[in-house]
Each structure stands twice: as structure tokens, then as C-alpha cells.
Amino acid sequence: MQSTDTRGELPARLELTDIGVRFGGIVALDDVSLRVPAGAVVGIMGPNGAGKTTLFNVVCGFLRPRTGTMTLDGTPRRPAPHRLVRHGVARTLQGLGLFGGLTALENVAAGAARSHRAPFVNGLLGLPYGTRTNRAARTAAAALLDEFGIGAYAGALPPALPYPVAKKVALARALISDPTLILLDEPAGGLDSTDIEDLRTLIRQLPTRGSGSRSVMLVEHNVELIMSVCDHIVVLDFGKVIAAGTPDEIRSDPLVAAAYLGGQEAA
């Protein structure tokens, strides 16, 4: 099996070993192993149907693999989706996933909940701790929106947000819990070149944001973006790892060129 670890000196924030997933007679993932070291940006790429989304759903607890193990910070875990934040994991979705009835500020603040019981619920019930938590979450949310340059949209509902702004709101909601591992699912989808450049800068800054060394796992179709922001890339095809290495190694891998790049080297 091909190793996917080029940074063995760093501890693994996330490690998947021999993950196998089947849907009936269809093999979606076939003995997939990879590591996401602390402080690293690891990209997952491959053609449509390669198994990228299935892999994300395993990590997020939406799918239970038939075979294999998953560890977070060295401890075997299979957290339920609603408990991911408790384990320091946050994710963005291919779609925005914003709450349509909440403002941009409230959407971001909702991400601060560290359990299935959001601080807004306690606040609405008039519980003192809930009220204090709600206030702190809103303050932190406002600071994030300002940092992302979209503070002017704090009071706007999602339908009124320009799409690039909504993307930043979704990312801010994932970041507000200060996760140690953030999963980005097609973050460049629907963005133009200027917005992708802003996204590139944000992704490069993610490992050093917050209280400690953050890891990033990125699924993305934009080859140029993934090549420019990742320390390490894993390429899937038909549910198998066909290549793993640095961006330079992936660019020159003939299997990647044949399966994903149409015989053309990545830009």
C-alpha cells in the first residue's frame, strides 16, 4: 500500500487506516489510508465518483465503514455528527448550509455551540449561563465577520447575501468553535478568480489561526487551488488511493495525469 505520510515527524491529528465502504455491490472506498498531521493542509482530489465525499462522510460520522479504523489525536473515535465539535472537528458543506431564518451574525454565533444544545436555546429560556454564552458567541461572531471583511452584512439574512459573502459566513461559522481539524468540502465552488484568491489566502492562514496548531482537510476540484495551498495531497480514483505526496510529486505522477488531469500536467 502506498504511504500517504510525508511529514512523519508530526503527530497525526486525523488518521484513517484501511477504510472500506460498500453500497451494495459497489465499492466506494477500498482500503483507504491517510494521515492529516497537526498543522498541515492535506488535500483530497480525484475525478467525480472517486470517493471524496464518501471519505468526508466517514470522517464526519455520517457513514460507518465496513472495515478500517479512524483516530483523532491518537485515540480511536467514530464521533456522531452532532458531537464533532466536542472533538475539535468542524466542517463546511458543498452547499452553504446556512440557517435561512437567522442573520449572518446569528449563523456564525450558532457555530459556537459545543454540544447539540445551542446557546441560543438557553438564552431563549432565560437561563443565566445561556444568556452569557449567547452574548459571548455574538461578540466572537461579530469579530470574525469584521476580520473577513463582511461585518456590514451581519444583520442580513442568507437569501440577501452575495454568494462569496455567504461562503465566508459558512467558513466563519466553522471557525468560531476554534477547531483543531477543519474539513473544507469544495470551498471554491461557485467563486470567481478574485474570490478564489481571497479563499487561497484564508486557507493558508488556517493552520496558525486560533489557540493552537490547526489541521485542514480539503476536498476540491480546483486543481490550481489545491496545488497552491496544500502541504500534502491524496488522489483517489474508483475508491482507491492512486497517488499521495507533495504538490510537485502529484503534478508529475503519470497515474494522476491519466485519471484526473486528462493527460495534462497540473498548472
Q: How far is the C-alpha of 267 from the C-alpha of 7, rounded, in Å?
A: 24
Q: What share of residues in the chain are helix, strand, coil (percent, to 5)?
A: 35, 25, 40
Give the model's pLDDT for residue 267. 35
Kind of pairing, strands 232-237 and 41-45?
parallel
CATH number of the domain located at residue range(s) 1-88+179-267 in this protein: 3.40.50.300
Give the model's pLDDT for residue 255. 86
Beta strands across the sheet bearing 12-23: 26-37, 12-23, 67-72, 75-76
* Higher per-residue pLDDT: 128 or 48: 48
Q: Which pLDDT band holds residue 66 (cuts at 50, 70, 90)?
A: very high
Give the model's pLDDT for residue 111. 86
Mean pLDDT of 56-84: 87
Q: How far is the C-alpha of 123 from the C-alpha of 138, rounded, in Å?
A: 12
Exposure of 228 by Cβ count < 10 A (0-12 exposed, 13-18 middle, 19+ buried)? Answer: middle
Q: Which pLDDT band holds residue 115 (cuts at 50, 70, 90)?
A: very low
Residue 1 has pLDDT above 50, yes or no: no
Tell me what percent of the residues of the chain surpass a pLDDT of 70.
Answer: 84
DSSP calls for 9-68: TSPEEEEEEEEEEEETTEEEEEEEEEEEETT-EEEEE-STTSSHHHHHHHHTTSS--SEE
pLDDT tens for 13-27 read 999 999 999 998 899
Residue 93 has pLDDT above 90, yes or no: no
Q: Which pLDDT band holds residue 81 (cuts at 50, 70, 90)?
A: confident
Give the model's pLDDT for residue 203. 92
Intervals of CATH 3.40.50.300 along the chain: 1-88+179-267
Residue 192 has pLDDT above 60, yes or no: yes
Give which of 1, 14, 3 is closest to 215, Cα–Cα.
Answer: 14
Q: Specify whether the CB–CB gap between 250 and 227 falls below 8 A.
A: yes
Helix (H) / strand (E) element for 134: namely: helix 128-147
pLDDT tens for 145-179 read 999 999 999 999 999 999 999 999 999 999 998 89
Mean pLDDT of 191-219: 87
pLDDT tens for 228-261 read 999 999 999 999 999 999 999 998 888 888 876 5
Q: How far is the C-alpha of 246 from the C-alpha of 230, rounded, in Å?
A: 8
Helix (H) / strand (E) element for 217: namely: strand 215-219
Mean pLDDT of 53-60: 91
Q: Specify whether the CB–CB gap between 98 and 122 falls below 8 A.
A: no
Q: Which pLDDT band holds residue 189 (cuts at 50, 70, 90)?
A: confident
Tell me what percent of the residues of the chain surpass a pLDDT of 90.
Answer: 51
Residue 117 cell numbers, joined: 444544545
Q: Specify whether the CB–CB gap between 36 and 73 falls below 8 A.
A: no
Give which of 118, 110, 16 is closest to 63, Cα–Cα.
Answer: 16
Give which of 231, 106, 107, 120 is closest to 170, Cα–Cα.
Answer: 107
Give the model's pLDDT for residue 239. 93
Give the model's pLDDT for residue 48. 85
Longest dimension (CA), the chain: 61
